[in-house]
Structure formats: structure tokens, C-alpha cells
Amino acid sequence: MHIRFIRTLLFALVVLCMSAASFAQIGVAITIGPPPLPIYEQPLCPEDGYLWTPGYWAYDYDVNDYYWVPGTWVEPAQVGFFWTPAYWGWGGSAFLFHEGYWGPQVGFYGGINYGFGYGGVGYEGGRWEGGHFSYNTYVNHLNTTIIHNTYNTRVTYVSENHVSYNGGTGGVEARPTPQQESYANEHHVGPVAAQAQHVQEARNNPELRASANHGKPPIAATAKPGDFKFGVVASRQAPPGGEYKAPPANAARGNEARPGNEARPGTENRPENTTEARPNTVSHASELQPHKFTPPNTGNAATDKKYQQQQGKLAAKQTQDHQKLQQQQEKEHQQATQKNYNDAQKQQMEQRHAQQTQQVEQKHATQQKQMEQRQAPRQTAPKPESRPPAEKPH
């Protein structure tokens, strides 16, 4: 176990040094919802102690397309931890990706029915007993001659749909309970190194892109993370509702997300000059869009690449600011409902939210303007024109 832990830790350090592509999912915003979840069988659990992590759709900005991250069996981050799956949620003007995590409790994952114990709320596929994981054979595919710590409890899912996102048109209508929100604030850790490698393998496989498989990925699940050759399970069929049609290639660009059909009033017509503060009609963080940066053009490819990396870091930080403020404001809205705020209290809250949102936008506009000024090509002063010496007066 010590050797395995050291290997995992070393690989984690390698992953941290990799391209930001594997981390680009965090805070990614896109205005076209992911395809429905494909229908597939769970592969056989490879070893005792592995936990199931369901498959999901991720987004690759380099090719402007969703790609399927196959479900897989994974060794947990630590004994006693469960996996809370990732999910997409409508944020008012774009779909936001919420990364999965390991923790002592299963938190909110959008109410998405991923199956195999993840029916939308909690997890009914197993439980920890005295430091060992016990599997529910009703929802897990096991070799019981090898894995003996099992039980069998019937699981009934409230919904059998295959919708892969929360909120928006056609999305799952579910909101986190105060208890689920408290789980997210407990000690937890992100995906382990094997999961990061698994995502990278999926991203590099063109067959897993939605535009290629039309919502029916040829590799729907794997027995072990990152192994796309052995123990692979294909989709049985595309989910009900017809074949998925990929969005046009210009549906998203870089860190720009265009408003969808559900954008709130006041968000459709934004000025193209993003160095200026946005209109005061934006009063909630959920209405904000990721900022658009002007590509650097200094005439030096190496310098432009460095500047683009700086822009990417700033864009990621600004997206985090948007999400943090959005979560705070949504929490206050929930408290207002629970405590039955009167009209005056609601008005004060909305005024505070509008002020917070505008302050964030002004801060971001200043950051962008300063960055563009630093990255602007330096203008060399023109040399004074050479003039013939003045003639002496006669």
C-alpha cells in the first residue's frame, strides 16, 4: 500500500505539471447543454476496494465539442471516502461544470441519474464497514467468488431519464439541500491522479467526441481508469430522444461563452469592448458571462504565447470569482425563502447583490485593461527628420 501510495503521489505531481487542459474543466462555461447520458452496462469490478465513478460529458474548447469520460472503477482517495460525481448546471446565462470530489459524504451532484447506485441523491451502491467497503450487488457487477463483502438491497430510482444537466430547458429540476451544502464544506479532495489520467485519455480519443459518436460513445465504461483496451464496455444504444447533433464549430471560442436562449433580460446585447464595465442591468453573478480577451499580436510568436497563457490564468481566476459570488448569492436567496423575508428585506438583498456584481465586473474590467496595456506592442518613437542646416542671412 505504501509503494502504491508513493506511485500515486508521484503521478499526481506529473499531472500538476501537465498542460492546463486537464484543469480547464473547472469553471468552464458553455451555452449548449451536454448530450443525454448513454445507456451502458457496468464492467466487472476489477478488485476488492475499488469504487464506481460514473461516466459524464466533459467539454474540450480546443475542438469546441463535448467528449465522453467513461465510467470506471477507481481506488478511493482514502478509506471512508465516497465519490460525489461531477455535473453540469445552468447558471443563468451559461452551463457551468462542477467538478467531482472525494469526501466522507456524497454531496449534491445536480440530481442527475447516473445509475449504478447514483440515482440523483446520495449513493446506494455500497457502504464502509470497519475500514472495508461493502458492495450492494443489486446495482454493482461483481465476481462474488472473489469479493465477499456484499449485501443486496433493492434500489428504486425516482426518474429513469437520461438528462445529463441540471436546470435550464429540459434539465433536471433539483436544488441542494442545506445538508448537501454542508457536505461540500466538509473536508474533501479532488480527483485522484488515476482519474486525471483517465480524463486526459478520454480527451485525446477522437471517437469519444460527441460530434463523432452522436451521443453513443464506443467506450462507455472501463474496468480501470486510463485503460481503454481491456475490460471496455460500449454503449448499448443511444438514449431516448433521437441522435445527438453536435453544435456548430463556432458555438464557443476560447474563454468566451455566448448567451443561450435562456439568458435573462439585459444579457443578450453586451458591448464588444470588454475593457469597459458592463451595463448596470446585470444584477446577479448568475447573469455574468466569461470575459473575452483580445488575442495578443506583438509580431513575436513566443511573446504572444506567453501573453495568451497570462490571459488564460486571468480568465480562470475571473471565472472563479463569478462562481464564488454566484454561490454566495444563491445561498442568500435560499435563506431569504427559508426565513420568509418581507419585501423590504428582499429589496435590500437585491440591491446588495447588484452592487456586489457591479463591483466584481468593474474590478475585472480594470484587470483586463491593465493586462492589455502591458501586452500592447511597444511603439518606438520616430526619429527626428534630418533637415539641411539653415542658411545664414546675407
The pLDDT tens digits of the residues spanning 14-68 come to 434 433 333 333 344 577 889 999 999 999 999 999 999 999 999 998 888 999 9
Q: Is 157 exposed, middle or buried (0-12, 13-18, 19+ CB in 10 A)?
A: middle
pLDDT given for residue 82 in this prediction? 97
Does residue 209 sit in the same domain as residue 278?
no
pTM for the whole structure? 0.59
Looking at residue 359, its pLDDT comes to 76
Do residues 152 and 138 make contact, with C-beta atoms less than 8 angstroms apart? yes
Inside any domain, residue 244 = no
- The answer to whether position 236 is within a domain reads no
H/E segment holding residue 133: strand 132-136
- pLDDT at residue 376 in the model: 73
Write down the pLDDT at residue 234: 94
- 171 & 109 share domain: yes
Task: Quote the CA–CA distance of 304 and 308 in Å, as a whole number.
Answer: 6
- CA-nearest of 168, 308, 243, 225 to 43 is 225
Residues 108 and 12 in one domain: yes
| Under 8 Å between Cβ of 68 and 202 | yes
Classify the C-alpha dihedral 356-358-364-366 as positive or negative. negative
Residue 241: pLDDT over 60:
no
Structural domain includes residue 23? yes
Same-domain pairing of 282 and 211: no
Interval 59-100: pLDDT, tens: 998 888 999 999 999 999 999 999 999 999 998 878 889 999
| Residue 93 covered by a domain | yes
Report, in angstroms and rounded to the nearest whole number, the Rg of the chain calculated over CA atoms.
25
Domain presence at residue 383: no
Total domains in the chain come to 2
Do 9 and 95 belong together in one domain? yes
Task: Output the furthest CA–CA distance in the chain (Å, rounded).
Answer: 118
Looking at the predicted structure, is the pLDDT value of residue 273 above 70?
no
Burial of 294 (0-12, 13-18, 19+ CB in 10 A): middle
Q: For residue 277, is pLDDT > 60? A: no
Q: Report whether pLDDT(8) > 80.
A: no
* pLDDT range class, residue 309, cuts 50, 70, 90: confident
Q: Are residues 208 and 74 in the same domain?
A: yes
Determine, yes or no, domain membership for 58: yes
Are 38 and 120 in a shared domain? yes
Q: CA end-to-end span of the chain, whole Å?
A: 102
Average pLDDT over residues 258-275: 32
Residues 20 and 117 in one domain: yes
Q: Let me know whether 31 and 125 are in one domain.
A: yes
Which domain range does residue 309 map to? 272-374
- The domain boundary, picked from 183, 200, 222, lies at 222
Domain assignment of residue 163, yes or no: yes
> Hey, what's the cell of 48?
476488492
d(CA 171, CA 119): 15
- 307 lies in the same domain as 173: no
Q: What are the two backbone dihedrals, phi and then psi, of residue 47, each rounded to the nearest 5 degrees? A: -150, 155
Domain end call among 185, 200, 222: 222
Q: Is residue 33 part of a domain?
A: yes
Angle, nearest 10°, between helix axes 193-203 and 2-16?
50
28 vs 19: CA distance, rounded Å: 16
Exposed/middle/buried for residue 216 (C-beta within 10 Å: 0-12, 13-18, 19+): buried
Cα distances (Å, whole numbers) of residue 57 to 23, 65, 206, 208, 362 = 15, 10, 14, 10, 34
In the predicted structure, residue 298 carries a pLDDT above the cut 60: yes
Q: What is the pLDDT of residue 239?
A: 62
Domain identity same for 180 and 307? no
- My answer on whether 206 and 300 are in the same domain is no
Q: What is the pLDDT of residues 358-386, one digit of tens each?
A: 777 778 877 887 777 777 765 444 455 54
Give the bridge partners for 174, in sequence order. none
Neighbours of 163 (CB within 10 A): 21
